[in-house]
Amino acid sequence: MDAKRRHTHHNHHHAHHSHARHSACAGRTKRGRQFKFVFSMLISSLMRRFGRMLVALLAISVGATVLYGMVAIYYDMPRQLGREFRSYGANMVIENISEAELDAALAKLPPLSIVGITPYKYSSVSMNSLPITLVQTDFSQVQQTNPYWQFTGRLPRAANEIVLGSDVAEYMLLNIVDIVDLPELGRSVGVVGIVKTGGVEDGFVYAMLGDNWTADIVELSIVAQSDELEKISTQLMQAAPNITPQLVKRVAQSETVVLDKLQALVYLVTIIVLALTMICVATTMMAIVMERKNEIGLKKALGAKNINVMMEFLGESALLGLAGGLLGSILGQVFAYAVAMSIFGRAIGTYPLLILATLLSSMLIAIIASLLPARIAIKIEPAIVLKGE
């Protein structure tokens, strides 16, 4: 009875479609609607089957956390460890220079991360009528460049106060609060502290160096690896031709070697964790394909092409990767911060580029891990929907 009407409607419907297909604007609308539908389908698949996707999400999140955390530490480690290494002593020495000359030269260089600049002025003096080497220096800087120097007592606060090297104190039988005769500094000079360095410095006597100093030797402790240090050295020479900086190569190079080894280790651990993540995601995705055999078969029975099935599956993985990457970036920042705080005692920066890289690589890893499961998915036959269960 209304068969004709329906068929007419049907034909009209098709005519309308073919007309629409010729219009570019309608084409865009069509693609938009199709995309909107498939996107909302993927979101529904993830949100409404959240429990099932949780394992895969967790795997990606953990992978992304380690990736983010490790790379953040990897980037930050030279800076972090550079500070640590500076406790082994100065890595650059400049001879015969005044404070003014050095300041002028440094001002011409790009900003440096300087831990300390310690001037030393040596003179031969007599103390209690015995010849001895007097070293005048800036004690606050000594503690920065040579943090391993162990002071007992206190540091000099006035020109007539000295610190004795431990050997001097021993063979001259002197101790804190003793008064000595040191004509260069005054008639009665107070011993306020004793320093133990473990080197020849234990045989010297130390006093304050005033402002606007001219030093025999200046030790610099700069946060930089050996190649950067070479560059800084060259720049200093260009800035002030009378300056000839020398690198303390032993310190600078061992720093580089240790950093390289640590970074290689981080690199290795990151690769292993990523491989494990990929295996875990692939296994979960494989289980998901098996679990959704009927759904995939149904879609094919409805006329889904292999490419549809594949793209939907990989699209789901990509979204899962994105969510996992987002979660991983947050957890990774917390992880890196905690590691940096507990090991180096310093905070770690946030790297927006690293967040982007983590998101992209999480998506990529999820997609790569899903390629094999997706291949299995497209091999599922639509006939499965008719096999009763």
Partner 1 sequence: MNMLELKGVSVLYGSDVQALYNVNLEVKAGQWLAIMGPSGSGKTTMMNIIGCMAKPTSGSVILDGQDTSKGSEADLTAVRRDKIGLIFQQFHLVSYLTALENVMLAQYYHSMVGEAEAFAALERVGLGARVHHLPSQLSGGEQQRVCIARALINYPKLILADEPTGNLDETNEDLVMDIFKHLHSTGSTLVVVTHSPEVASYADRMAVLEHGRVVEVTDPPPFEHKGSRRRRSIYG
CB 291 within 8 A of CB 45: no
Q: Which is nearer to partner 1, 173 or 307 (CB)?
A: 307
Q: Which is nearer to partner 1, 12 or 108 (CB)?
A: 12
19, 28, 33, 154: which one contacts partner 1 (CB under 8 A)?
33
The binding track of 193-232 with respect to partner 1, each residue x by CB under 8 A or -, is: ----------------------------------------
Q: Which is nearer to partner 1, 30 or 79 (CB)?
A: 30
Q: What's the number of CA atoms in the CB half-sphere (13 Å) around residue 319?
A: 18
> Least distance (Å) from partner 1 to the CB of residue 341?
42
Could you give the CA distance from residue 365 to residue 371 in angstroms, rounded to a whole number? Answer: 10
Tokens of 352: 């927006």
Stretch that binds partner 1, among 156-164, 295-303, 323-331, 360-368 (CB under 8 A): 295-303
Which residues inside 40-69 make contact with partner 1, applying CB under 8 A? 40-41, 44-45, 47-49
167, 287, 294, 371: which one contacts partner 1 (CB under 8 A)?
294
Backbone dihedral angles phi then psi of residue 196, each to the nearest 5 degrees: -115, 120
Stretch that binds partner 1, among 57-65, 126-134, 201-209, 294-302 (CB under 8 A): 294-302
Could you give the CA distance from residue 268 to residue 67 in angstroms, rounded to a whole number? Answer: 11
Stretch that binds partner 1, among 9-17, 217-225, 272-280, 337-345 (CB under 8 A): 9-17
Q: Is 289 exposed, middle or buried (0-12, 13-18, 19+ CB in 10 A)?
A: buried
- Report helix, strand or coil for 348: coil
CB 195 within 8 A of CB 164: yes
Could you give the CA distance from residue 308 to residue 42 in angstroms, rounded to a whole number? Answer: 12
254 touches partner 1 (CB under 8 A)? no
The binding track of 348-387 with respect to partner 1, each residue x by CB under 8 A or -, is: ---------------------------------xxx-xxx
User: Facing residues of 135 across strands?
Assistant: 122, 206
> Least distance (Å) from partner 1 to the CB of residue 87?
58
303 touches partner 1 (CB under 8 A)? yes
245 Cβ neighbours under 8 A, 6+ residues apart: 92, 93, 94, 220, 232, 233, 236, 237
Could you give the CA distance from residue 319 to residue 354 in angstroms, rounded to a whole number? Answer: 19
Q: Looking up tokens 């360095």, which residue turns up?
A: 197
7 touches partner 1 (CB under 8 A)? yes
304, 365, 367, 380: which one contacts partner 1 (CB under 8 A)?
304
CB 112 within 8 A of CB 232: yes
Q: Which is nearer to partner 1, 155 or 378 (CB)?
A: 378
Q: What's the number of CA atoms in the CB half-sphere (13 Å) around residue 113?
A: 11
Q: How many residues bind partner 1 (CB under 8 A)?
A: 39
Binding residues for partner 1, per CB under 8 A? 1-3, 6-7, 10, 13, 17, 30, 33-34, 37-38, 40-41, 44-45, 47-49, 294-295, 298-305, 308, 381-383, 385-389
